[in-house]
Structure 1
Amino acid sequence: MSQTHRQNNQLPNNIPQLQNLIKRDPESYKEEFAQQLSHFGAMFKIFLLTPNEYNKDLDDLFIFLGQVARCYSEQLAGYPQQLMDALEKFGSVLNTENRLSMCRALILMRNKNLLEPTDLLPLFFRLLHCQDQKLRKYLETHIIADIKSVNSKHKNMKVNTVLQNFMYGMIKDGNVKATKMSLNIMIELYRKNIWNDTKTVNVLANACFSKVTKVMVTAIQFFLTSEKPDDSDSDSDSDAPNVKDVAMANRFNKKTRKREKNLDKMKVLMKKKRNKGKAPNYNFSALHLLHDPQGFVERLFKQLESMNERFEVKLMTLDLISRLIGTHQLILLNYYPYVKRFLQPHQRDVTKILQFSAQAAHDLVPPDAIEGVVETIANNFVTERNSADVMAVGLNAIRELCGRCPLAMNRDLLLDLALYKSYREKSVMMAARSLIHLFRDINPDMLHKRDKRKPTLADAEKTTKQFGQIDAKELIPGAEALIRNPDDDDDEEVDEVSDEDDDSGDDGEEWVNVSHSEDEGESDDDAEEEETSDKDGEDNKDDKVENISEENAVKTAIDPAVRKEMAKDLISSTILTDEDFKKMEKLQMQKEIVGVRKGSAKKRKASEALDVVAGQINELVDLSAIENIHSKRRHDKEARLESVRKGQEGRDKFGSRKGKMNPYASTSNAEKRKGKNFMMLKHKIKIKKKKSFKEAQFSYRRTLEKTRKRMLKSK
């Protein structure tokens, strides 16, 4: 008998080897495959009589037939249905290992497109009822991966509709584990942007009212889950003015005493605008896809009032309600009296409750409803019987509330809170000043005269909105920058600020015109300076020289009202470019600095005067904005030792921090003296010997004699 014949006789007992040979040459091993298939049929019938007993040989055959199913598709045409029927009938009582092998075999055939997802996935969803955590986790991973592969090239709406309808029924299933697993699958598919439609979101919203706590918490967490921030650079910042442009413009500006100060102010403004332009790190798309947010939030609040769950679950529900109110600007007047009950300094997680109170405030809420919350915070937190940290947290919370609903603050209470700007504790002082800075921007008329900042051109354009008033803009802010000065050439572009009462500052200088066109001829001095500083000869250097500081503002003969009408006609008939928007934004930033009249208020630092920029209110309230407390540095022993150890980092032991500039340089005389023999330095050492009592007495007597003789000579 040949070696090959002996090998073929051993194949039925060596399934992995047979599987490998069949994949290489299916036609040559049909007999061996038929023998294994017949053996499987007999063993499978016996297995179904006692499905709870483990069968190792049958376990191997499940995987073997799944691997070679593509090679013998006709012979194994009924094999997938045979396994699916067994799992459907005996799924809950099958042996765990054999059941897992049967599922793996079906997945192998599904990956080879021998099964349709609409036939297999409903079975897997029903198998989630099994009390087998390993199986449920395995099926969850496959379901997500399979649906993702089905929608990889394009959305397969036919398959998605069938699977979604089946899964929506699974969520209403009485089995808690199957319901929660189905919910997790839907959430994961939503986050992978596969099932991110409104139907999925609203089904998840209905799960928030489940009687099962785990299901309800999972659904609520879905709407509260934060996304990772996008690390990629945003293209929106490229159109905004940068510090380089400001510095370049400041270099060519007319030299005055205020030039450097205005440059610092502009840097602060641009930094705040960059921070304002960053997108929040939270996912609001799910909240925006709700069909009936008003009805949803009312049902959710009704459930909260009768809820007997843990306090953490109530906090999550409060958070979701506040986000819905703030995002959709809903009206839920019962929410604010409910929150007032928890606004006590000793309340657990009171900073989060303060955050939820601020998130639920917006312009459309009647001020009377939120005014009670503001007064409660002021009475319970901002009082001297509390610690400084509690007072600072209360002031920060009031600031966030008033930033979203300014009309909730009455003038008497604001004047009382503003007095804490000179409080002995720094945390309270800084919190009170931040509240003052907010009202300097949104409603300076409510402040005392000494607390108002120097009026600017931007302040002159702002109006205090009344309740229900819509602030409709007839003109894009800063569009006046696109109107050319009539005294300039046709091809010259000028950034302008005009006001009849404008003044250049304390030095009494007049406004000057600054040209920015590359075709416009420069003055001799500016041309020489430009030629010296830029040897590359770039013709577009002057395009960066913009009118930024106060001294660059242009006084024009055109009346401001006429300029606005001209700007309206221009933007309605012209397609604006990125450069145009950049100029308009620069003009608006310039208006934040330029005062409307001389000596209107006392001078302040840029960090104080520009602390709050209009429009910097986001949908969400950052918890750190309420918990931001300016505290004194610790001066105990641990803090001092920590400071000492920090200063010793990166320093050689018992050595200088600097060391030599050049390690190969010659040593100094002092260093050479350290290496010399003592006998060579003996004669240079002056030994200071302590005087004895007799020697000291003699020296003192001699000093007295000299003093007496000096006094006699003077007489």
Structure 2
Amino acid sequence: MVRRHNNQLPENLPQLQNLIKRDPLSYREEFLQQHQHFQNTIEVFQLSPEQPNKTLDDLAMFMAQVAQCYPKELQTFPQQIIDLLEKHNTVLDNDMRMTFCRALILLRNKNLLAPTDLLELFFKLLRCQDKALRTFLENHIVTDIKNLNAKHKNAKLNTTLQNFMFTMLRDSNTRAAKMSVDIMIELYKKNVWNDAKTVNVIATGCFSKISKVMVASLKFFLGKDPDEKQSDESDSDNEIDPKEVMMANKVNKKTRKREKKLTKVKKLASKAYKKKSKAPVFNFSALHLIHDPQGMAEKLFKQLESSNKRFEVKLMTLDVISRLIGLHDLFLFNFYPYIQRFMQPHQREVTRLLQFAAQASHELVPPDVLEPVLKTLANNFITERNSSDVMAIGLNAVKEICARCPLAMNEDLLQDLAEYKNYRDRSVMMAARTLIHLFRSVRPDLLRKKDRGRPSEATEEIESMDYGKVDAKDYVPGAEVLLEEKNEEFEVNSESGSDDEQWIDVQHSDGDESGGEVSGAEEETAKEETEVAGRKILKAARKDEHLKMKKEIAQKVTLERILTDADFKRIDMANVRKHVQSSKKGLKRKIEEAPVVEPSDLVKLSDIENIYKKRKHDKQARIDSVKQGQVDREKFGYKDGRMNEHCSRTNREKRKNKNFQMLRHKARGKVKRSFKDKQIALRNHLLKLKKMK
């Protein structure tokens, strides 16, 4: 191989690097020369490490690029760079420190450096006053650990790295601890470290004395709900339409300011489109992986009572506690009186506090613990001295709490709140009706008879609720629909018997036995009452027998056959039909009285703030509404009054379509003169006549 311009290679490191990678043996002498130069430069650099050295930067990157070609000669090279960074990390020039880190990352990518050695060094570098370096190192650590687990989980290495990361979380240095928790959260979101060990270590960060670490850990367990938007963000009237800006930029004069604005609008539009198209993400799986949720909730509440943090941090702590209570059915009775103190309409972020009260409600909370919360809501919110919006929010909060713990509501309070169903304001009226609708499907016995609605097949199957009662079914509810023929036979058999055969004998007093004191009319009334009572008893007996038979059929179907997807679909349709179909044949309930959706673990803020008003439409909705109103409508504008549209037009009509220059000379032809002008014209005319005489 002929080597040309050999005397220029020591000065041209990129060319030498390229040649060495192609043929390491042929250029070994040139490499050794550069290696000796590198060692001499390091000795000179250590005399004044605070001064930047461009030669050392170039040589360090050169050695890192060709390290795989000469592993024996560069065996100590990684340790040399590590020693330089450990010894002079705080005094080094920012660019030089970044170059050394890039060289080490290059060696790590070539598997010439262990990941644990690099992590330990990088966490020490967090003490440097260089934000760009800290961000760069964090991204590398996340990417490196992700690549290590790309093909398969490296359990041994992950355990070593996790233990090191957990010790750094307790580090006294604020930046190191914050970066440690940020890295673990990022790796959890990327499904690299999504195990229970990582989640429980992040949970310890909620009790950190460093505020940034505590807030980051709390935010991790809260996650982000993209459906919850601020009121100003949801109003599309303030949004900028990129099409309008582009059209204006075409028509208007081209300026630098308009071009910048157009570029910014395009970026915002692209970001908004990506945000809308992104699937919603809920971070509830992390809360499921906590080992001791009861202990964590108690520690957080104790920390909250004795802390003097900002109000926003207290809100986040309350949110995490409420989610833990609701998700794991915990008992933390002191939580409810604490949050009850803030239930005032003028309280800052009161809707979020009501949301936390609803999230912390579940069926195992004793009713006497939640009952004071409902009374406080009724006294402070649902009163006519407040505005209609405040009353509606209070009713919505009561509904959300009762959806999770129906036993907390008593009969008197519910009937008082149900009276708002005819309130003059629509928002209060609708909130009260949703509360009534909830109890129709949960505890209809608390409502007045007029508020229970028309009975349906589903309401007949509702069982009475007791505290601690577990309704564990050994069959699939509604599976009896799969045996329709047997059901029809059962209905025929149950109704085939006459009333005389199934009549229940009810004993009553006879007028003749009392000495003939009872009149004939009273005797007839007594007989009618007896017959009504007998029919009710017979009806109840038939109902119980009918429900018992349906359960037996559903249990038989569940045990004797394997249910397919089509079977489950039929069962779901039958269960929905039960809520609509009346218990009396031929009657159907209104569509708005559909079954209540089961409450989710997460209470949406929009459910508390759900106020029935005429909502604002966005621009596109308004345009569609306008176009829909124009369908089959007479053409607006000038109405042509001619009987025959093909006949000629008047000169006055033709003049409207002519160019102004053609009518300019006639513009003041028939302008009406003022009274003053007429006086002057008359005077001039009379003077002219006088002169002529």
Structure 2 length normalisation: TM-score?
Answer: 0.74
Partner of 1:129: 127
Tell me, in whole angstroms, the C-alpha distance in 1 between the residues paired with 2:19 and 2:629.
65
Match of 1:606 among 583, 591, 597: 591
RMSD: 3.4
Structure in which a larger fraction of residues adopt helix:
2
> CA, structure 1 residues 99+349, in 2 after alignment: closer, same or farther (shift >3 Å)?
same
Are the equivalent residues in 1 in contact too, given 2:224–2:283 (CA < 8 A)?
yes
Partner of 1:713: none
Alignment of 1:470-489 (within 5 A): 470-483=470-483, 485=485
Tell me, in whole angstroms, the C-alpha distance in 2 between the residues paired with 1:678 and 1:306.
87
Partner of 1:162: 160
Cα distance, 1:123 vs structure 2: 1.6
Tell me, in whole angstroms, the C-alpha distance in 2 between the residues paired with 1:54 and 1:178.
26
Aligned-partner residue type, residue 381 of structure 2:
F
Cα distance, 1:215 vs structure 2: 1.1
Correspondence 1:625 to 2:607: yes
Tell me, in whole angstroms, the C-alpha distance in 1 between the residues paired with 2:135 and 2:490.
66
Correspondence 1:12 to 2:10: yes
> CA, structure 1 residues 14+359, in 2 after alignment: closer, same or farther (shift >3 Å)?
same
Aligned-partner residue type, residue 594 of structure 1:
Q
Are the equivalent residues in 2 in contact too, given 1:362–1:405 (CA < 8 A)?
yes
Are the equivalent residues in 2 in contact too, given 1:499–1:596 (CA < 8 A)?
no
> CA, structure 1 residues 30+347, in 2 after alignment: closer, same or farther (shift >3 Å)?
same
Partner of 1:368: 368
Alignment of 1:62-461 (within 5 A): 62-226=60-224, 281-461=281-461
Cα distance, 1:118 vs structure 2: 2.3
Are the equivalent residues in 1 in contact too, given 2:225–2:280 (CA < 8 A)?
no
Are the equivalent residues in 2 in contact too, given 1:325–1:332 (CA < 8 A)?
yes
Cα distance, 1:139 vs structure 2: 0.5
> CA, structure 1 residues 387+497, in 2 after alignment: closer, same or farther (shift >3 Å)?
farther
Deviates more, 1:75-84 or 1:291-300: 75-84
How big is each residue's C-alpha offset from its partner over 1:486-518, in whole Å with a ceiling of 9 and x where there is no partner?
A: 5xxxxxxx9999598999xxxxxxxxxxxxxxx
Tell me, in whole angstroms, the C-alpha distance in 1 between the residues paired with 2:653 and 2:372.
89
Tell me, in whole angstroms, the C-alpha distance in 1 between the residues paired with 2:361 and 2:591.
30
Partner of 2:21: 23
Are the equivalent residues in 2 in contact too, given 1:370–1:408 (CA < 8 A)?
yes
Tell me, in whole angstroms, the C-alpha distance in 2 between the residues paired with 1:481 and 1:137.
61
Are the equivalent residues in 1 in contact too, given 2:65–2:106 (CA < 8 A)?
yes
Are the equivalent residues in 2 in contact too, given 1:496–1:587 (CA < 8 A)?
no
Aligned-partner residue type, residue 45 of structure 1:
E
SS in structure 1 of the partner of residue 485 of structure 2: coil
Cα distance, 1:185 vs structure 2: 0.4
> CA, structure 1 residues 416+579, in 2 after alignment: closer, same or farther (shift >3 Å)?
same
Cα distance, 1:674 vs structure 2: 6.2
Bigger relative contact order, structure 1 or 2 (CA pairs below 8 A, ≥6 apart): 1
> CA, structure 1 residues 391+154, in 2 after alignment: closer, same or farther (shift >3 Å)?
same
How many percent identity over aligned positions?
55
Are the equivalent residues in 2 in contact too, given 1:501–1:596 (CA < 8 A)?
no
Alignment of 1:689-700 (within 5 A): none
Tell me, in whole angstroms, the C-alpha distance in 2 between the residues paired with 1:177 and 1:410.
53
Partner of 2:268: none
Structure 1 length normalisation: TM-score?
Answer: 0.72
Cα distance, 1:669 vs structure 2: 7.9
Tell me, in whole angstroms, the C-alpha distance in 1 between the residues paired with 2:493 and 2:337.
50
Match of 1:43 among 27, 41, 44: 41
> CA, structure 1 residues 563+48, in 2 after alignment: closer, same or farther (shift >3 Å)?
same
Partner of 1:585: 572
Partner of 2:32: 34
> Please, which runs of 5 or more residues in structure 2 have no aligned partner?
228-278, 497-544, 655-693
How big is each residue's C-alpha offset from its partner over 1:252-309, in whole Å with a ceiling of 9 and x where there is no partner?
A: xxxxxxxxxxxxxxxxxxxxxxxxxxx9852211111111100000000001111111
> CA, structure 1 residues 495+679, in 2 after alignment: closer, same or farther (shift >3 Å)?
same
Aligned-partner residue type, residue 308 of structure 1:
N
Aligned-partner residue type, residue 404 of structure 1:
R
Are the equivalent residues in 2 in contact too, given 1:121–1:143 (CA < 8 A)?
yes
Are the equivalent residues in 1 in contact too, given 2:343–2:350 (CA < 8 A)?
yes
> CA, structure 1 residues 43+567, in 2 after alignment: closer, same or farther (shift >3 Å)?
same
Tell me, in whole angstroms, the C-alpha distance in 2 between the residues paired with 1:88 and 1:371.
62
Are the equivalent residues in 2 in contact too, given 1:44–1:58 (CA < 8 A)?
yes
How big is each residue's C-alpha offset from its partner over 1:611-632, in whole Å with a ceiling of 9 and x where there is no partner?
A: x42x511111111111011125
SS in structure 1 of the partner of residue 572 of structure 2: helix
SS in structure 2 of the partner of residue 617 of structure 1: coil
Tell me, in whole angstroms, the C-alpha distance in 2 between the residues paired with 1:633 and 1:154.
51
Tell me, in whole angstroms, the C-alpha distance in 2 between the residues paired with 1:645 and 1:594.
37
